[in-house]
Structure 1
């Protein structure tokens, strides 16, 4: 994955997290999805910080 693609992925995940957090009521599936998104976000940010992307 290229740096720009990784940056776009981070932005997409952050947007998805914000949308979920704006919901009035989260059910158990929402909490699971939110946890998954947070893990994906942490992984993508770590890849960006460590330079784990194609040039």
Structure 2
């Protein structure tokens, strides 16, 4: 899950860096950022639980 979150984060940054200001879509940005956030959040939670840190 962490790897998927990092890939989505990277694709978000690449999209922001390569697209022009006029061709950007707010919906695509918000959806990509939200999905990446969910994957990184749950992924980091599961990594902590797997390593014995109970949160």
Residue segments in structure 2 that go unaligned for 5+ positions in a row: 51-55
Instruction: Quickly say closer, same or farther: Cα 1:43–1:27, change in 2 above 3 A.
Output: same
Tell whether 2:21 aligns with 1:25: yes
| Number of residue pairs aligned between Structure 1 and Structure 2 | 47
TM-score, normalising length: structure 2:
0.64
Which of 21, 24, 39 aligns to 1:44? It is 39
- Which has the higher relative contact order, 1 or 2, with Cα contacts under 8 A spaced 6 or more apart? 1
Q: Displacement, 1:26? A: 4.2
Residue segments in structure 1 that go unaligned for 5+ positions in a row: 1-5
Moved over 4 A (4+): none
TM-score, normalising length: structure 1:
0.64
Counterpart position of 1:34: 29
